[in-house]
Structure 1
Amino acid sequence: MYKTSSIVYIFLAAFAATAEEAPSPDGTTVSGLSYKTVSAREFQVTPDTGEDMGAPLSALIHQIIKEQTPAIIQLEKGTYYLDGNGCDHSVFMVDHARNLIIRGEGPETRLIVGRPSIGTFFFSSGEDLWVEDLSIDYDPLPYTQGRVLVVNAKGGWFDLAIDPGYALLSEPWFANAPDPDGKWGMIFSPKEPALKPGAADFVYIEKWEQLGKRAWRLFPPAEHTQRLADLRMGDRFVQLARHGKGGAVFFWRCVESGVRNVHIYASQSVAVGAVSTDRITVSRLFVGRKPDTDRLVSTDADAVHIQQNLRGPVIEECLFESMADDGINIYYPSNIVTSIVSETAVRTDRSGIIEPGDRLQLFDAMEGRILLETKAESVVPGPDNEYRVTLDKALPELEVGAVHGLSLHNVSRCGADFIIRKNTFRNHRRHGMVIKAPQGVIEDNVMESLGGYGIVVGNDAETPEGIVPYDLSISGNHIREVGRSRWYGVDNMAAALQITTHAERGRLAKERAIHGITLRNNRFENPPGPALYIGAARNIHIDTLQISYSENSVVPKKTAAIVIENADTIGMKRIQVESQQKEVHAGVLICDSVDEGLEGADIEEIQITGPITMETVRDERQ
């Protein structure tokens, strides 16, 4: 831990006088702009003092914003303690800034946040804002970990011995985390820093009580007590305090901003987040367990979380590991229709932002259909946190006042035109990527040892989140050993790569709304059943796909390597399947809901190596 000095606050009071002197520039040019470089040390932002550097660095940032001159704030190597006192949301709230770079000298420039319930950088309403060449960590951490002593599944509890050096559950940031989504934990293997294979990937914890100095009894809610069957004495367990306040670096309504060469070892929420933003770049970001520690997780939530972005992100050459959630999530939070006002107007909740001129889809989640593609002609905020949205086209024949599981997807704010390239995803809780956006490129990524699937392409009709993706290029990816946690392998639509239009209650949609997906040169090892599932889709083209199941792989149900259901215009060529598992009964399964003949599925050059009973293609249409 670190101490806080009152000298810092004396400096803050005097800052207005001293900061009038312009920091010395060095004429650095970035992207055609001339940036002055400001030495943070000259403004008493000094490493390795053990004193709070959050207040003076925040004051320096705000002084530079006032000057409205492109600037680089240069931090030296060393440890900068940020105590977070007086901060309700994030240590650095940076509003209406432009052309600002906060730069360290590599991961040895260490920012240590002292309050595990707040974020670090929160940028809002800015442009050309960057965090570069530094690392972010927390002390104390926004989670704790320990080893399971006793499990009483019938009694609905288990005992946990918290590891030395980790916070006790009596600390306020655990009790004060939001219910229930901020208070849950994960089961880890006894020896490896990895999720326990075949176990539930999360367990809500409703309450806890102290038994001894470091021993605690944890109680899941009634609906999660059956998950205690996955716990054994000696297993390790991580309990999160997930507060969801921004993230290590978060952008709200920003343009052309991002992070480069940043290491993030912990966060009470996401590593990098962007909401209602236009083109974020995430380059050479490392999210993972701090080296030379016995930590089991990195961040409490996703590595990169993209919501309601006008143009999607560019995410390249990153390493994501040990997060408590997804690697990358791109989506729009659909607006639930609460009533139909007229033949051209609806009321919706305000889950997502809608502005006049935005392109919208009216989606029927009950059936899984896009009923209308239109634009917002006018948007008027209403009572009860609602919008009244007038459309430029008439609604289909729906009864005025009635609501039938309808929602609006905003195509203009869903993160379209994204690039995800040359990243590695390793040993984290859920999916590698969750893609609910169109017109993107996913290429040359590696996903391995994940609790969830490798790539999930499709809408979420339950939450709901959209949109239904289209026009994607997925090439050169290597996905191995994914879907390792309980449930993922036995789901009806399980696959290392899932391309699906969903209806409510986890059902396959009736409409083949997802379309225009091209797969080239992808490789799968030991998938959780199928390597590829295509459902409620059309115009999917696959060229060169390699799938292998080793003798030691776990295939939880009878399956084919590729499953096609409720689809048309599916083209495949150069498919290779090698299996040593008798559960894999065919290379390709074409379900009877696929259109007849080659108009439904056209397969060329498929090679199968496996048990003598294994079929090349099982066609249920015949």
Structure 2
Amino acid sequence: MKRMMTFVFSVAAIFAVQAADGHFRVDLDGRQDRVTLTSEGGGEMNAVPQGWIKDPEAQKCTLMVWSRRKTSSTEWKICSFRFIPSKSGTVVLSVGAGEETAGENRRIQLLVDQIMLNGRLLPNGNFQQTYRTDDGRTVPTGFAAGGEAVLLPSAGLNGPAMLVSHDSRLGFRIKVEAGRSCELAFRVKTAPEQPSRPTSDTSLQEQLDRAVKDGKKTIELSAATYRLNETLRLRKLKDFTIDGRGAKLLMTSYVAAMHIEQCEDLTIRNLTVDYDPLPHTQGTVLGVDVENKLTRLRLHPGYPRPTNLTPIQAYPFSADRRQYKEGVNEHYGSRLIPREDPAEYDLWTHEPPVDFSAGDLVALRFGRYPCFWIRLTRNLTFETVTVNAAASLVFVARSCTGLQRYKDVRILPGGTLPPGATEPRLLSAGADGINYENSPARIELENCEFSFLGDDSMNIHGTALPLYRQISEHVIRILAPEDYSRLLKPGMTLRLLEPGNFTILAETPIASIKHLAEKAPEETKALFPRTMSIPPCRDIYEIALENPLPEVPAEAIIDFKEMNGLSFSVKNCHFHDHRAYGLRMMCSNGLIENNRFERLKGSAIVFGGEYAYWREAGFVDNLVIRNNVIDRVANYPDAASFAAISSIGRPEKRDIGVSRNGSRNIVIERNTISNCPYGGIQLFGVKNITVKDNILTDIGTVSPAWPRAVTLGFETMQPISIGSSVEACTIEENQICETK
């Protein structure tokens, strides 16, 4: 609490010039509980229903209240008003100023240092108790700060005050009783004008390009905020560092923040990335029509209205905990249908919306671009980087090598609310936090925190590719992306996989690789399922193998062990409140140690290939999962795995069995797992695995198992469940307590 924003040291230092006076304003909203609000009139404040609400019934639940006289910058003034609620419920208040400007088109700013309710101080109405938001701001406990609203520790009459304006407001809620008059009183003063915070409209791309041209190896950002309408492009930088020095990159269009390509030894540190407007929105469910697959919802004030009404991804949240609803489906490819009130929509979903109830919150994702797009880059470090919003993937990397390092990286919903908003953000990003594909690299995470993602925390994988043609027992041809010409090396391991269940038929080192000039016929695109993350490939590679292959079955696929990643470590990280998995690892030679996983709808840790649907490779060899704390995960029965820690590798069809020799050499030890409804540890299709000294508490059981689990060899789901094709498995010294 002692660490305040750097410009908040003393009132005298901040307020250097006299400011124009302005009107104090409060907006009241009782629509959540359908509470009609009636102003009692009189006094020094005007009150009318909010005219921008077009639905007449909804408008009755709102008031806009403003002072008849302007506030003063020389003395504090009490602004009070009364209203009567029609029923008991919750009313949301937003405190700010009128629309006046104070020169150079800057909004009038007011100070508020005390709030009284019915003659008594509102809980924490003098702002003495505070909390720190995910983006580092200090905010009074029980309140939300929108826009640039900020707490000033000594600007009040006898202590702190909130600095607010028309676009930067203080939000809070009160409980009201039917028919009982409510009086609210605010102590207010016009804030003397502040010197503007440093921002930059100079092209950051130009600054970067100039630094590179001048031979500099480091660029330090001087502004506090850079508003960027276009992607910052980093191409062929070598031995270069970008030090943000705490700067924020505020993206003003739905594009990637950075595109990093063909760089080497690049470091990016001390940055925050956010979007304005946000690439997703949110609201409250008003009602559900299951038969017609419609959910009526109202967007929260201040949050963007989607310009494209389809496809929309909808995520149900609980209103009381503001977390993903447990055990329910999300809705993909949905469509928004506008209603007469511009803030209200009907959400049409492919499946009946049985997962929604009136009063639930819902997050809606409509963007598609990643935040950081990384390709063909060797030795990359992100350090002390925070991302507060991303449309889909946050860090997406393809065809990278060397050491890829993430230290003190945070992906969290931003604490800065959109102008006019009072509800905290629900989502940080719409998809994975980190996603690596076809990158023979070492990937390290340390001291990171990822939360409120629309998919996995981290996914490392390669690609399962079609075997195009067998020339001889030592020579084959495959179809693969163009980048493979840079990445495949002699000595890497090719794995030949049986169609359907992906049993490894052969493993052999590569002797040589030749990228052929000819292209495969157009019809070979049919060999690539539409669910693959790479588009259909027509580049042909001829690969000579050190050892002969057996007879290759029709429709066989292959992967390259090293292309799935060389090695990885994830240590001392915190992953919580995601829609899907924590770690989804298909890379060998890994260590997952001393991490905390909480409130994930999917498993905390899964390992092995997802060949069947996504064509993501591959099976894992040499993995240690140790000393992790896992609580309240894997509550999603429709997932491909059901336990906190699980192998994966489902077959393409349920009746053909799982791989007979998938992941191997796995150690799962000294982990603490609790409150998981369907299982703690789940294993199938693995070899040479040790499970020891784990503590499992309050783990649910399922008997008989679901059809999907039966496919994997599970007759029942237990705290530790062993399915099909498990060979050389040691289970010892585990503690299982209070099984449900």
Q: TM-score, normalised by structure 1?
A: 0.76
> Is the CA contact (8 Å cut-off) linking 2:602 and 2:642 kept in structure 1?
no
Pick from 72, 83, 92 the counterpart of residue 232 of structure 2: 92
1:372 shift after superposition:
2.5
Deviations 1:378-426 (A, max 9, x none): 2326244323232323442136xxx32x222122322221111110001
Q: 2:397 matched to 1:238?
A: no
Q: 2:105 matched to 1:105?
A: no
**Alignment partner of 2:565: what SS?**
coil
CA spacing shift, 1:268–1:606, aligned 2, 3 Å: closer
Pick from 365, 383, 390 the counterpart of residue 267 of structure 1: 390
* Amino acid in the other structure paired with 2:540: R
Deviations 1:559-582 (A, max 9, x none): 79xx99999xxxxxxxxxxxxxxx
1:130 shift after superposition:
1.8
> Is the CA contact (8 Å cut-off) linking 1:341 and 1:347 kept in structure 2?
no
Q: 2:215 matched to 1:64?
A: no
1:111 shift after superposition:
1.4
Alignment of 1:513-524 (within 5 A): 513-524=662-673
Aligned to 1:495: 643
Aligned to 1:410: 560
> Is the CA contact (8 Å cut-off) linking 2:610 and 2:648 kept in structure 1?
no
Pick from 354, 359, 374 the counterpart of residue 251 of structure 1: 374
Unaligned runs of 5+ residues in structure 1 are 1-45, 85-90, 568-582, 615-622
* Amino acid in the other structure paired with 1:350: P
- Aligned partners of 1:152, 1:83: CA distance in 2, in Å? 40
> Is the CA contact (8 Å cut-off) linking 2:233 and 2:258 kept in structure 1?
yes
* Amino acid in the other structure paired with 1:112: L
Aligned to 2:453: 323
- Aligned partners of 1:556, 1:351: CA distance in 2, in Å? 47
Aligned to 1:34: none
- Aligned partners of 1:331, 1:407: CA distance in 2, in Å? 15
1:438 shift after superposition:
0.4
**Alignment partner of 2:693: what SS?**
strand
1:556 shift after superposition:
5.8
* Amino acid in the other structure paired with 2:394: A
1:349 shift after superposition:
4.8
1:333 shift after superposition:
2.1
Alignment of 1:23-422 (within 5 A): 48=197, 52-53=201-202, 56-70=203-217, 72-76=218-222, 78-84=224-230, 91-106=231-246, 109-115=247-253, 117-169=254-306, 171=307, 174-175=308-309, 183-220=312-349, 224-226=350-352, 228-244=353-369, 247-278=370-401, 279-291=403-415, 293=417, 294-340=424-470, 343=473, 344-350=475-481, 353=484, 355=488, 357=490, 358-374=492-508, 375=510, 377-380=513-516, 382-383=519-520, 384=522, 385-393=537-545, 394-398=548-552, 403-404=554-555, 406-422=556-572
Unaligned runs of 5+ residues in structure 2 are 1-194, 418-423, 523-536
CA spacing shift, 1:523–1:281, aligned 2, 3 Å: same
- Aligned partners of 2:721, 2:710: CA distance in 1, in Å? 6
- Aligned partners of 1:373, 1:47: CA distance in 2, in Å? 64
- Aligned partners of 1:433, 1:589: CA distance in 2, in Å? 20
- Aligned partners of 2:663, 2:394: CA distance in 1, in Å? 30
- Aligned partners of 2:462, 2:687: CA distance in 1, in Å? 22
Q: TM-score, normalised by structure 2?
A: 0.64
1:592 shift after superposition:
7.9
Aligned to 2:609: 459
Deviations 1:491-538 (A, max 9, x none): 6x5211002444324675232221011122111011232211111111
Aligned to 2:152: none
Stretch moving more, 448-457 or 513-522: 513-522
- Aligned partners of 2:330, 2:482: CA distance in 1, in Å? 27
Pick from 448, 469, 474 the counterpart of residue 620 of structure 2: 469
CA spacing shift, 1:321–1:125, aligned 2, 3 Å: same
* Amino acid in the other structure paired with 2:355: D
- Aligned partners of 1:266, 1:609: CA distance in 2, in Å? 40
- Aligned partners of 1:145, 1:465: CA distance in 2, in Å? 31
> Is the CA contact (8 Å cut-off) linking 1:564 and 1:594 kept in structure 2?
no
1:298 shift after superposition:
0.2
* Amino acid in the other structure paired with 2:438: Q
Pick from 687, 690, 696 the counterpart of residue 541 of structure 1: 690
**Alignment partner of 2:456: what SS?**
coil
CA spacing shift, 1:163–1:389, aligned 2, 3 Å: same
- Aligned partners of 2:461, 2:404: CA distance in 1, in Å? 14
- Aligned partners of 1:525, 1:389: CA distance in 2, in Å? 48
> Is the CA contact (8 Å cut-off) linking 2:504 and 2:661 kept in structure 1?
no
Q: Identity, % of aligned pairs?
A: 22
1:242 shift after superposition:
2.9
Aligned to 1:19: none
> Is the CA contact (8 Å cut-off) linking 2:626 and 2:670 kept in structure 1?
yes
Deviations 1:138-168 (A, max 9, x none): 0000011111122112112222211111111
Considering only aligned residues, what root-mean-square deviation do their CA atoms show, in Å? 3.0
* Amino acid in the other structure paired with 1:346: R
- Aligned partners of 1:436, 1:555: CA distance in 2, in Å? 27
- Aligned partners of 1:289, 1:557: CA distance in 2, in Å? 39
* Amino acid in the other structure paired with 1:288: L
1:74 shift after superposition:
1.2
Deviations 1:74-113 (A, max 9, x none): 12362221133xxxxxx1111111122111223xx22110
**Alignment partner of 2:268: what SS?**
strand
- Aligned partners of 1:49, 1:508: CA distance in 2, in Å? 62
**Alignment partner of 1:65: what SS?**
helix
Equivalenced residues, count: 510
> Is the CA contact (8 Å cut-off) linking 2:497 and 2:558 kept in structure 1?
yes
> Is the CA contact (8 Å cut-off) linking 2:382 and 2:405 kept in structure 1?
yes
> Is the CA contact (8 Å cut-off) linking 2:226 and 2:249 kept in structure 1?
yes
> Is the CA contact (8 Å cut-off) linking 2:264 and 2:379 kept in structure 1?
yes
* Amino acid in the other structure paired with 1:204: G
1:555 shift after superposition:
5.3
1:587 shift after superposition:
5.7
- Aligned partners of 1:486, 1:590: CA distance in 2, in Å? 18
* Amino acid in the other structure paired with 2:384: N
> Is the CA contact (8 Å cut-off) linking 1:122 and 1:251 kept in structure 2?
yes
- Aligned partners of 1:341, 1:152: CA distance in 2, in Å? 59
> Is the CA contact (8 Å cut-off) linking 1:312 and 1:414 kept in structure 2?
no
- Aligned partners of 2:436, 2:583: CA distance in 1, in Å? 11
- Aligned partners of 1:204, 1:528: CA distance in 2, in Å? 29
1:51 shift after superposition:
6.0
1:558 shift after superposition:
5.7
CA spacing shift, 1:407–1:149, aligned 2, 3 Å: same
- Aligned partners of 1:316, 1:127: CA distance in 2, in Å? 21
